Chains A and B, each alone.
Chain A
């Protein structure tokens, strides 16, 4: 195990990260390699341009929002620990983890995953998905397939279904309730980060 421990030394703060996020050694190393690939100018941190250079992300309908979860006004540079912390949301849920009062909720718990998804909608960060935000999101996902009236009807229907307190916007709890039957663990996890 000598070689891998020396490799692990390259990664700053690896042990703490592993404990905090639950990633295994292999994962941390993989992610570090990827970080270095993205960080072409070898500055030690990532900026918006590095993310935008990822081609596949550019054609993803919500690519810019995903990038926005990593780098946003207020955090223009992203170092490795923060990179890992965001990605920790996408680990499959540990079946062995049991909730004890003092420990903070791990990043890949169901609620945290839902928070991540919610933040993709809620661009202005007011804690609610307004009609306009939902329309924007649907516009991005559906593209040219629907006319404006259809889009408005779909949005209207969605808000009507989910909005239980009738304030015209979807709060986080309403969001949680509307996906309570969905297997979030399966949908918001990628096995490479197990």
Chain B
């Protein structure tokens, strides 16, 4: 069309005119383009005046640039944006995310970017220091998990969760460590210099499971609640155990001899770490709940308290070297219940959204960097060690799940059957925590590179292979499903009735189980805690809460279906009556109409999607180029920067002229 013809002519002329055109059409990449253009034509710096001669008059610089000042925030922002673009890109083509978990895709993109960076000899940003990961990238993810954990099933299964998290991780670490030590003795692999402590240290790193990908699959397939919550809970709580073990073995690895006293101290330390973490979490949770009681006049900063208090819990736990993950998870669990009753509806929505957003960003970045770092670090590969690591990780997890479920099944109301056990064992992927811990290995360990390589290998293997194959396998073996669509008043009422019944029957039988403790806690809660922590402390049953929620939904639906003037809409009550009496004829009319509309829309939507898809691909491509251009600028390699700048412009031109 006209604009593009005109633009093509312009491209053959001076570059500053392109700038003008961009200004006129307010192209979104205007600012970046302006910056690029001016960068390549930066005025030469005025020469410093030689001493003793008459100083030359320097002109007032119209446009200066000071990159080092903004370097760090700028780079951080660009990396986050790139990772997020990648995430947008996946969801455009919906089918991919069904079969390939997002973490795989992110790692792949990371690998590609890493390859590009490697080929231009760039260093990856130095973000994978221990501090940055553990202080900035991990807390949002854990907060996200903790905040959205379904509390009722969690507390019903807390015994099983803790059992698998603690004993399971111990079993895995010690088992893998010992087996690897045995393998090390074989001369053929050439790893005899790794002693037992180092093997145990490595084993503790790779026994931390991180089933992010698996949880998404479980949710999509709606596996039974018990399995879901055990996998979820195990992932959260075994981080605590892993970190304790890691620190312990780290400490021990530097000691020449291990005495029984040290083992005993290790166990004591574990209890201090675990219970201390929980204690701090609960403390901060209550303080946060108490604070929100008084924030009715300052609604805008209400969400802040949630984040500050949970982060504070995390940092204080880090201060005392106790389990910060457990602290932040218990803080979130405790806070959520009371805070959501105190804060306004908007604050509640804000909190949920921001928690999810931060968690999502962190997770994306971590997997992305995993891909980048895989290419750019120096690897030390050892076939025997790494293959046996993979084998043992698999074998020990399977064995562990089998043995542990045998022991804990008699204590469960609904025992785990073999299919559940398979899901549990196969869902043990490794991820972010292992990755971070591997990088923070101290330098005095001889085979540090080998350990890092092995960790990355096992993460990639489990995420790609198990992550992709778990979905078809779960569907094939037909794990017990659960129907989670319980949003009717009837279901809620009857469920509560049944709970009361079971509590009564158990009292009758003189037995106590979790219903008893739950009852006791609810009484304590209603009588004492709610009075202190909630501003308006009328106890609200879940039935009433659900009723209110459903009524609200209904009201919004009714308003939506009223086309035209809302002010002329009749009141909700009368509409309700009308809806009840309307019955069938109206429905049929709407259905035919809807079908027509559907046909029309679907034809048009197909085109739209195509355009959007190519657009997204372009944005990603151009963003990538921009990236590399930035980095080449930093290294002051002019040829590369010019090359990429021209490439960028050609890309812009092609896009604008409508060619793909």
Known: A66-B501, A87-B505, A160-B580. A145 touches B495 (CB 8 A): no
- A61 lies within 8 A of chain B by Cβ: yes
Known: A154-B543, A179-B490. A190 touches B506 (CB 8 A): yes
Known: A62-B501, A161-B489. A138 touches B509 (CB 8 A): no
- A8 lies within 8 A of chain B by Cβ: no
- A183 lies within 8 A of chain B by Cβ: yes
A126 to chain B, nearest CB (A): 19
- B504 lies within 8 A of chain A by Cβ: yes
- A25 lies within 8 A of chain B by Cβ: no
Once bound together, how far apart are the Cα atoms of A66 and B495, in whole Å?
15
Once bound together, how far apart are the Cα atoms of A90 and B504, in whole Å?
12
Give B519-550 as 1s and 0s: 1 = Cβ < 8 Å from A's Cβ atoms. 00000000000000000001111011001001
Contact A192 B506 (CB under 8 A): yes
Contact B508 A57 (CB under 8 A): yes
Interface of B is mostly: helix
Q: Which residues of A have CB within 8 Å of B509?
A: 30-31, 34, 87, 190, 192-193
- B598 lies within 8 A of chain A by Cβ: no
Once bound together, how far apart are the Cα atoms of A183 and B500, in whole Å?
16
Once bound together, how far apart are the Cα atoms of A193 and B225, in whole Å?
22
Contact A178 B491 (CB under 8 A): yes
Contact B500 A145 (CB under 8 A): no
Known: A90-B505, A138-B493, A141-B496. A181 touches B486 (CB 8 A): yes
Once bound together, how far apart are the Cα atoms of A60 and B411, in whole Å?
25
Contact A187 B498 (CB under 8 A): yes
Known: A141-B500, A192-B513. A66 touches B414 (CB 8 A): no
Once bound together, how far apart are the Cα atoms of A57 and B509, in whole Å?
11
Interface of A is mostly: helix
- B602 lies within 8 A of chain A by Cβ: no
Q: Which residue of B lies closest to A113 (CB)?
A: B498
A121 to chain B, nearest CB (A): 8
Contact B497 A57 (CB under 8 A): no
Once bound together, how far apart are the Cα atoms of A183 and B226, in whole Å?
12
Once bound together, how far apart are the Cα atoms of A142 and B580, in whole Å?
27
Q: Give the contacts of A89-135 with B (CB-CB under 8 A).
A: 90, 92, 95, 116-117, 120-121
Q: Give the contacts of B340-364 with A (CB-CB under 8 A).
A: none
Contact B510 A34 (CB under 8 A): yes
Q: Which residues of B have CB within 8 Å of A179?
A: 490-491, 494-495
A2 to chain B, nearest CB (A): 25
Contact A157 B547 (CB under 8 A): yes
Q: Give the contacts of A125-170 with B (CB-CB under 8 A).
A: 137-138, 141-142, 145-146, 150, 153-154, 157-158, 160-162
Once bound together, how far apart are the Cα atoms of A154 and B489, in whole Å?
8
Q: Which residue of B lies closest to A141 (CB)?
A: B496
Q: Which residue of B lies closest to A137 (CB)?
A: B497
- B64 lies within 8 A of chain A by Cβ: no
Once bound together, how far apart are the Cα atoms of A146 and B503, in whole Å?
23
- B488 lies within 8 A of chain A by Cβ: yes
Contact A142 B544 (CB under 8 A): yes
Contact A153 B547 (CB under 8 A): yes
Q: Which residue of B lies closest to A146 (CB)?
A: B544
Q: Which residues of B have CB within 8 Å of A18?
A: none
Once bound together, how far apart are the Cα atoms of A65 and B622, in whole Å?
70
Once bound together, how far apart are the Cα atoms of A187 and B544, in whole Å?
20
- A186 lies within 8 A of chain B by Cβ: yes
- B639 lies within 8 A of chain A by Cβ: no
Q: Which residues of B have CB within 8 Å of A142?
A: 541, 543-544
Question: Which of these, A30, A90, A92, contacts B414 with CB under 8 Å?
Answer: A92
- A29 lies within 8 A of chain B by Cβ: no
B314 to chain A, nearest CB (A): 35
Once bound together, how far apart are the Cα atoms of A24 and B550, in whole Å?
44
Contact A90 B498 (CB under 8 A): no
- A182 lies within 8 A of chain B by Cβ: yes
Q: Which residues of B have CB within 8 Å of A186?
A: 413-414
Once bound together, how far apart are the Cα atoms of A40 and B550, in whole Å?
49
- A39 lies within 8 A of chain B by Cβ: no
Contact A62 B500 (CB under 8 A): yes
Q: Which residues of B have CB within 8 Å of A48?
A: none
Q: Which residues of B have CB within 8 Å of A190?
A: 413, 502, 505-506, 509, 511, 513
Q: Which residues of B have CB within 8 Å of A185?
A: 414
Nearest first, the 5 closest Cβ-Cβ pairs linking A and B are A56-B507, A181-B483, A178-B490, A66-B504, A191-B413
Name B's A-contacting residues (CB within 8 A): 225, 411-414, 417, 482-483, 485-486, 488-491, 493-511, 513, 538-541, 543-544, 547, 550-551, 580
10 new A-B contacts, CB < 8 A, other than A62-B497, A66-B505, A138-B543, are A31-B509, A34-B509, A57-B507, A62-B500, A63-B504, A141-B541, A188-B501, A189-B502, A190-B511, A191-B513
